Structure 1
Amino acid sequence: MVPPLHAVIVACPLQGHFNPTMNLAELLAMRGFFITFVTTEWIDERLLKAASKDAAARDREIQERGFKFRFIAIPDGLPLEHGRTSDVGELWLALQSLGPALESVLTVTDKSVPPITCIISDSYLSCTAEVAKNLGVPRVIFWTNCTAYATIQKNANFLLSLGYIPVKEEDLKSKDKLITCLPGKIPPIRPTDIVSFLREKYISEVIYRLTLYESRFQNIADYVLINTFEELEGGKDAQIGLRVNGCPAVAIGPVFLPNFLQGRNSMYSMWEEDKTCFQWLDAQLQGSVLYVSFGSMALKSEKQLHELALGLEACGYPFLWVLRSDIAEGKSLDLPEGFKDRTKDRALIVSWTNQLKVLSHPSIGGFLTHSGWNSTLEAISMGIPMIGWPYFGDQFLNCRFVKDVWNVGLDFEGVDVDEFKLVTKEIVESTIRSIMEGSIRTKLCENVARLKEAAHKAVMEGGTSYTNLNTFVEDMQKIAKSRV
């Protein structure tokens, strides 16, 4: 008798990585997998606090959903007072040492748990390669980024050998310098598209070395899953560049969308959400509101936030602004004097909210975003045009593709070269007007509507992502049978 499939899913403890990994876990649980979801103790505590639950209440909710699902939290080796996301380099370095702790908890005998079929690892958790090898199970890499970015990152050491890395300041300014040597059907890459941690100015920092180190282990896999959909990124040929020694590499996203289309909420978020904004949105005209959010980690100077606030005020449109308390480079934030009073009749500022629910609201007409991949996919899937304002990592590539490849958004000129370039209130105002009214908006809305339809079809029964995920399940079943 073949035992149930059992996927150990190891999540990277950052919001942009954690959410899609949880979505993938739920999709596999719905397909009959027993799931062991591994994260760090620090993240697990945040999850329970944000959900206002204890571990027992979480287990009951999982059982009510009919899932075979257990959480395992392991220490990340950092002191309690460490800021984690405030120093990604130190956090990332600590994560590379999780292998022994992970292997220890996975080798504890528990007769109620079926044998491990595979380890599904975030693409930035090199520690799982040795664990999978020692346990004799396939290592499945899950890219929470788009295919083009993942292809660049997987080949970072190859680009280093060719002299494209570290990315030089003069190359960043050259839009004519294109990289066309990468495998897979992806558009030509500009130096600004390469992950920002590999720019010359970071060469002496730990995050530069860690990015190249992780790239080596992104070439050790038995299967590759990508949170994108074929219709967005060049069909099946785009994913070819992510294969490792001929292993399958398939697009299975957007992984949040099946839950959304079936009216289900994902089980957990790392942040407490403000739900009051939805009554305010209900009172706004259709397509009239600009949603402004820069994710969980992006920082802006106080001067830049003042320019942004004045631009929002001048544009005249209603806006919902997610304004984290730590966004002003970790300092307390004072908005321009009188700003809140002058905009109180058409503005709402919250600390955090359910972004997907916001983007799906009929009053939302545009999205000013940091261009994280989750935010980009969510906006496309909800048919919302974007203004990109990237901060670090893969956000520069996502922003460029939104504007130049998919033609579903705009950006602020020059921020891809200098992420600290001051964007004036006048530019903020004029760009918002372009995305919220006139011929430019009409064209962007037409393009994003087509991609929205394609995304929905991809995750529905018979769609490319739906079929690809089912194929992965079938392949894991073959592995389980071969062991009997």
Structure 2
Amino acid sequence: MLKSMAKQAHILMVPYPAQGHAKPLLKLAYKVASHGVKVTFVDTGSVNSKPFATKSDKVAKHNNVVFVSVSVGVKASEDQTQAETTMERRAQARNLIDLIRNRKDSEITCVVADVTMGWILTEIAEKLQVPTVAFCPLSLGSLALICQIPKLIEAGTIDSNGKLVRSDEVISLSTDIPPCKATELTWKDSRKIETRDTEKSLFGLCKTVQETAESAEWIVFNSSKEFEPAACDLNPRCLPVGPLIESEDSKRTSGAAGSFWLEDTSCMDWLDTKPPESVIYVAFGSAASLNQHEFDELALGLETSGHSFLWVVRSDLTRGTLLNYPVGFLERVADQGKIVEWAPQELVLAHPSVACFLTHCGWNSTMESVGRGIRLLCWPSFADQFHNASYISDIWKVGLKLTKDKSGIISKHEIKTKIELLLSDKSLKVNAANLKKESQESVLPEGSSFKNFEKFLNLLRR
């Protein structure tokens, strides 16, 4: 068992306000709270006007986690100068410092903040001398690539604004870390959405991440040494404590913790009616999107596969346009498919009827899948998703990548064909089962993630 705490630690956790960042940090909050640590979790904002804390209060109270709302100014204005942005961030950081100083219940003993918000850690460490820890929701491999930014600029691969100079470059850090094409660097956006400067925003975040990673005393990850041994060896200050997933015997009501979206649990009853390993689960996370042509091809690919499918279709999945299904599609698949706006994903992935997951390859979805032994069909679109897809298909060999045709579209034929290949390849199933076993062993006593979590707890009580 983990050692009991000499005194009750009280940590302040500060997430970046996006589901892919906030949810794994909240899971970590629940985990440390179960070991006698008090957690004050800062609600820094919302996504799609859906408040985060209201989805989590019921579970949080049970786990000794308290929510507070504090503005931390995570989004700088496009026309702000660097000096203005720095001044604003320092002013907002004072909100957190005041919160820490005014806690009447117990003293804050440590601050854990998302790696994209390292400036908060710097301000608090300087002003209060409170121990600080960064939390990274990406893979260790993705962080290692981001930390190459200065070298990529020096080598002339990118300019100081992150724009490609030599697009044919391939960045390779180790034989066990997937190589990365320059066109698929974390801040590059293959979607080419013209309504927002996504690449500029992502590069700014990546620069912050790189700076935080270089200065942080410790960085906690939702990963494990078994998944990324080479990447772990690159940075001795990394603490992979994952995978952070619900236990398989969790109740069906537990999945809502940390979700910005209202989960439709009716899909669980629908899954109960299906044979084992017969359902294709399809979801693209909270941010990835499709154009109408891609959406149509996906719908028709699922239909022509002949397999039952559970498809998560957010209201904004087709890039802000109204959802339009192919003519007659909903009527034809009425008995074949189930469509919901949001699903309790971990519960879905743990269900015996699910055969595979067609995914955008976000890191949380990746961890939740490999921790369940689920095979993956990869449809990445931006950020770290391409690198995650390479881990899945090339390193772990637990899934396949979907390939675009000459017009840049993933066709219904490609989807149907890859589903059949994925489900018929026995080696992928064996590899997925082996990876699941490794993930389970890593969080057991004497496992690598267990030991790292114990080290993390010891950091909290210093």
Same fold (TM > 0.5): yes
1:455 CA drift (Å): 0.6
Match for 1:105: what amino acid?
L
Q: 1:75: which partner in 2?
A: 71
Deviates more, 1:287-296 or 1:462-471: 462-471
Asked whether the 8 Å contact 1:290–1:366 carries over to 2, the reply is yes
Q: 1:216: which partner in 2?
A: 211
1:253 aligns with 2:242: yes
Structure 2: tracts of 5 or more residues without a match: none
Q: 1:122: which partner in 2?
A: 114
Change (3 A) 1:326 1:181: closer
What secondary structure sits across from 1:205 in the alignment?
A: helix
| CA distance, structure 2, for counterparts of residue 62 and residue 126 of structure 1 | 25
Structure 1: tracts of 5 or more residues without a match: 52-57, 79-83, 480-484
| CA distance, structure 2, for counterparts of residue 204 and residue 271 of structure 1 | 25
Asked whether the 8 Å contact 1:148–1:186 carries over to 2, the reply is yes
1:425 aligns with 2:415: no
Q: 2:442: which partner in 1?
A: 458
| CA distance, structure 1, for counterparts of residue 198 and residue 433 of structure 2 | 41
Change (3 A) 1:217 1:376: same
Query: 2:36 aligned to 32, 38, 46, which one?
Result: 32
What secondary structure sits across from 1:291 in the alignment?
A: strand
What secondary structure sits across from 2:276 in the alignment?
A: coil
1:208 CA drift (Å): 2.6
Q: 1:475: which partner in 2?
A: 459
Q: 1:331: which partner in 2?
A: 321
| CA distance, structure 2, for counterparts of residue 88 and residue 268 of structure 1 | 29
What secondary structure sits across from 1:272 in the alignment?
A: coil
1:185-213 superposed Cα distances (whole Å, 9 cap, x missing partner):
745444355213389x8798344344324
Q: 2:312: which partner in 1?
A: 322
Q: 1:194: which partner in 2?
A: 185
| CA distance, structure 1, for counterparts of residue 404 and residue 316 of structure 2 | 25
Query: 2:95 aligned to 98, 101, 109, which one?
Result: 101
Query: 2:427 aligned to 429, 435, 443, which one?
Result: 443
1:72 CA drift (Å): 1.5
1:39-78 pair list within 5 angstroms: 39-42=43-46, 46-50=51-55, 58=57, 62-63=60-61, 65=62, 67-75=63-71
1:286 CA drift (Å): 1.0
Match for 2:153: what amino acid?
L
| CA distance, structure 2, for counterparts of residue 312 and residue 472 of structure 1 | 44
Aligned residues: 440
1:423-447 superposed Cα distances (whole Å, 9 cap, x missing partner):
11111211122112x2x2x111111
Superposition RMSD in Å: 3.2
1:329 CA drift (Å): 0.9
Match for 1:455: what amino acid?
S
| CA distance, structure 2, for counterparts of residue 428 and residue 387 of structure 1 | 9
Match for 2:245: what amino acid?
F
Q: 1:381: which partner in 2?
A: 371
Q: 2:337: which partner in 1?
A: 347
Q: 1:361: which partner in 2?
A: 351
| CA distance, structure 2, for counterparts of residue 76 and residue 96 of structure 1 | 7
What secondary structure sits across from 1:124 in the alignment?
A: helix
Q: 2:272: which partner in 1?
A: 282
1:331 CA drift (Å): 0.7
1:371-409 superposed Cα distances (whole Å, 9 cap, x missing partner):
000111111111111111112111010011111111111
| CA distance, structure 1, for counterparts of residue 200 and residue 214 of structure 2 | 23
1:303 aligns with 2:307: no
1:62 CA drift (Å): 4.2
| CA distance, structure 1, for counterparts of residue 220 and residue 199 of structure 2 | 32
What secondary structure sits across from 2:102 in the alignment?
A: coil
Match for 2:343: what amino acid?
T
What secondary structure sits across from 1:119 in the alignment?
A: strand
Change (3 A) 1:352 1:198: closer
1:20 aligns with 2:12: no
| CA distance, structure 2, for counterparts of residue 330 and residue 45 of structure 1 | 16
Change (3 A) 1:6 1:301: same
1:117 CA drift (Å): 2.1
| CA distance, structure 1, for counterparts of residue 457 and residue 95 of structure 2 | 27
Asked whether the 8 Å contact 2:29–2:39 carries over to 1, the reply is yes
1:49 CA drift (Å): 4.5
Q: 1:152: which partner in 2?
A: 145
| CA distance, structure 1, for counterparts of residue 166 and residue 418 of structure 2 | 26
1:225 aligns with 2:225: no
Q: 1:81: which partner in 2?
A: none
Match for 1:123: what amino acid?
V
Asked whether the 8 Å contact 2:19–2:258 carries over to 1, the reply is no
Match for 1:222: what amino acid?
E
| CA distance, structure 1, for counterparts of residue 342 and residue 198 of structure 2 | 34
Change (3 A) 1:214 1:169: closer
Change (3 A) 1:39 1:159: farther
| CA distance, structure 1, for counterparts of residue 231 and residue 134 of structure 2 | 17
Identity of aligned residues (%): 30
Change (3 A) 1:139 1:261: farther
1:462 CA drift (Å): 2.7
Q: 2:132: which partner in 1?
A: 139
What secondary structure sits across from 1:422 in the alignment?
A: coil
Change (3 A) 1:334 1:89: farther
